[in-house]
Amino acid sequence: MNETVIQILSWLGILFIAYVSGKLISKIKLPAILGWLITGMVFGPHLVNLVSVQTLNQTYYLVIEKAAECFAGVMIGSEMVISKLKKYGRSILITTLFQSLGTFLVVSLAFALVLFLTGKPLCLAFIFGGIALATAPAPALSIVKQYHSHGPVTDTLLPMAALDDIVGIVVFFSVMSLVSSFKGGATTPWYLTLATIFLPILTGSLLGFLGGLLLKKAKSKWSVMLEVIFSLALTIVSGVLMDVFFFKAWSFNYLMAGMCASAFMANFLSEEELNSFLTSYDPVLSICLIVVIVNLGMPLDYHTIAGAGLFTFVYILSRALGKYFGAFLGSQLTKAPRTVRNFLGFTLLPHSGVSLVFTGIAVSTLNAFDPSSALFIQGTIASAAIINEIIAVIMAKEGFKWAGELDKKETKADNLSLEK
């Protein structure tokens, strides 16, 4: 049998095992995502090796994974209805800036002190800060979906996931450009940084707007479903073309593009039509979240846990403090609901997907002029990714629980609480 076919069948088998593992994990009151994440790590290239590193880098595999990200973006986009955003848009923007930039500041200062005491280059502190500020939205989204979470914390988190990505990209690439210039390495062209931020937004928005015009003529929930899927498929094709011919790397943000496309289409539907669509779309979303989370676990190498030490501890702790108190201060300043102020920070702790992407870029850049620092960053983040993600998923679930938002449906009281 062709090796590619064997790898695809193995991958499908892993997804099934992940689904079963998630169900079993749920029985002991833990998020299903832990089962998905651990399954990816166990059966990935660093342990059982059912799916090899070569397969993870194959174009067909990357396209499938990016498509799943795009389709998962619907969960965020469907919440970005203008009538909802008007209630708390300013609060979300300010809180996002506080928790993102606050995390960058806390992690950078913590590492500046530790690196100074250990005699390592101080500029690495800002790279750690740039890697730390972004949040991986998929883990929190899976918890929201599994437990039917609803309330001020959930409604704040979903749009914040998109804004957080934008801030993360801007800060990280700015830091890498400054460090490269200072150290004499190659810098990322400014237009590529801007393209990384705005092309997914523009592409998703344009195709979502055109898809929304088609939705006006939809006569049934199935025609709505087909038109949304068609618009998302065009978004994915556009992203792949940009990656191949413009970025020449997998730099297009498919989750954000899917979110923008679905946000535009959601605003063309009535509340009743949107709810009907989301009910029908639920199986697609479930599959896509499993694909994204399993892929998140596959690159994680359990061997790195043995090498975890002071720097890993500093990274996890300083990032958690930055996220929690940044969200706390931003929510306090904007007079957000008490539950948002006290518990939003816990839902922002998942991180590994974004951290591994940023780490790969940082390592590639540093290898040109400082290989030892590249290895140091790679080892620290790799070990932190595994330890943090397991802790973060549990803490995110507890954050929603403490906020009283698990297994809730939208009520009038919830809407009133947002306006306080």
Instruction: Say if CB 106 and CB 324 are below 8 A apart.
Output: no
Joined together, the tokens standing for residue 116 give 């100074």
Residue 249 CA from chain centroid, whole number: 19
Joined together, the tokens standing for residue 163 give 């804004």
Under DSSP, the state recorded for 302 is G
Joined together, the tokens standing for residue 351 give 């991180």
Q: What value, to the nearest 5°, has the Cα angle with vertex 76 and ends 72 and 78?
A: 100
Is residue 67 over pLDDT 90?
yes
Instruction: Please choose, from the candidates 181, 186, 280, the residue with its C-alpha nearest in 3D space to the C-alpha of residue 227.
Output: 280
CB atoms within 10 A of CB 279: 10
Joined together, the tokens standing for residue 99 give 């928790």
Q: In this predicted structure, which of 90-99, 162-171, 225-234, 247-256 has the lowest mean pLDDT?
A: 162-171
Instruction: Say if CB 115 and CB 182 are below 8 A apart.
Output: no
Percent of the chain with pLDDT over 70: 93
Is residue 205 over pLDDT 90?
yes
Q: Give the whole-angstrom CA distance, residue 173 versus residue 127.
A: 9
Averaged pLDDT of the chain: 86
Question: What pLDDT, on the 0 to 100 scale, is given for residue 411?
Answer: 43
- Between 381 and 190, where is the model more confident? 381
Average pLDDT over residues 77-98: 82
Find all residues with CB under 8 Å of 229, minimum gap 6, and list them: 284
Percent of the chain with pLDDT over 90: 44
Q: Which residue type does 309 have?
A: G
Average pLDDT over residues 92-118: 94
Is residue 412 over pLDDT 60?
no
Average pLDDT over residues 80-103: 85
CATH code: domain of residue 283: 1.20.1530.20
Question: What pLDDT, on the 0 to 100 scale, is given for residue 109?
Answer: 97
User: For 283-339, how does the pLDDT look when each residue is reduced to its tens digit (9 = 90+)?
Assistant: 999 999 999 889 888 887 777 676 668 898 999 999 999 999 999 999 999 999 999
Q: Give the whole-angstrom CA distance, residue 264 versus residue 273.
A: 14
Instruction: Say if CB 215 and CB 227 are below 8 A apart.
Output: yes
Domain count, the chain: 1
Question: What pLDDT, on the 0 to 100 scale, is given for residue 174?
Answer: 87
Q: Give the whole-angstrom CA distance, residue 358 versus residue 368.
A: 16
User: For 225-272, how does the pLDDT look when each residue is reduced to its tens digit (9 = 90+)?
Assistant: 999 999 999 999 999 999 999 988 888 989 889 999 999 999 999 888
Question: What pLDDT, on the 0 to 100 scale, is given for residue 11?
Answer: 93
Question: What pLDDT, on the 0 to 100 scale, is given for residue 107?
Answer: 96
Instruction: Please choose, from the candidates 419, 408, 341, 331, the residue with its C-alpha nearest in 3D space to the C-alpha of residue 151.
Output: 408
Find all residues with CB under 8 Å of 248, minimum gap 6, and list them: none
Instruction: Say if CB 187 and CB 181 are below 8 A apart.
Output: yes
Joined together, the tokens standing for residue 168 give 């993360």
User: For 14-56, how does the pLDDT look when each residue is reduced to its tens digit (9 = 90+)?
Assistant: 999 999 999 998 888 888 888 898 899 899 898 898 988 888 8
Helix, coil or strand: residue 120: coil
Question: What pLDDT, on the 0 to 100 scale, is given for residue 231?
Answer: 96
Domain of residue 168 covers 3-418
**Residue ranges of E strands in 203-262:** none
Instruction: Please choose, from the candidates 268, 285, 272, the residue with its C-alpha nearest in 3D space to the C-alpha of residue 210.
Output: 268
**What backbone phi and psi angles, to 5 degrees, belong to 258?**
-65, -40
Average pLDDT over residues 130-137: 85
Instruction: Please choose, from the candidates 174, 165, 167, the residue with its C-alpha nearest in 3D space to the C-alpha of residue 193.
Output: 174
* pTM, entire model: 0.79
Under DSSP, the state recorded for 83 is H
Q: Which residue type does 339 have?
A: T
Question: What pLDDT, on the 0 to 100 scale, is given for residue 366?
Answer: 84
Question: What pLDDT, on the 0 to 100 scale, is given for residue 301?
Answer: 77
Is residue 414 over pLDDT 60?
no
Question: What pLDDT, on the 0 to 100 scale, is given for residue 184?
Answer: 61
Joined together, the tokens standing for residue 312 give 């890993």
Query: What b/e readout covers 336-367, taking b as 16+ CB neighbours within 10 angstroms?
Result: bbebbbbbbbbbbbbbbbbbbbbbebbbebbe
Is residue 417 over pLDDT 60?
no
Question: What pLDDT, on the 0 to 100 scale, is given for residue 409?
Answer: 55
Q: Which residue type does 13 have?
A: G
Q: Give the whole-angstrom CA distance, residue 338 versus residue 340.
A: 5
Instruction: Please choose, from the candidates 236, 202, 203, the residue with its C-alpha nearest in 3D space to the C-alpha of residue 72.
Output: 236
Question: What pLDDT, on the 0 to 100 scale, is given for residue 307?
Answer: 61
Q: In this predicted structure, which of 34-43, 157-166, 208-217, 273-282 has the lowest mean pLDDT?
A: 157-166
Question: What pLDDT, on the 0 to 100 scale, is given for residue 18?
Answer: 95
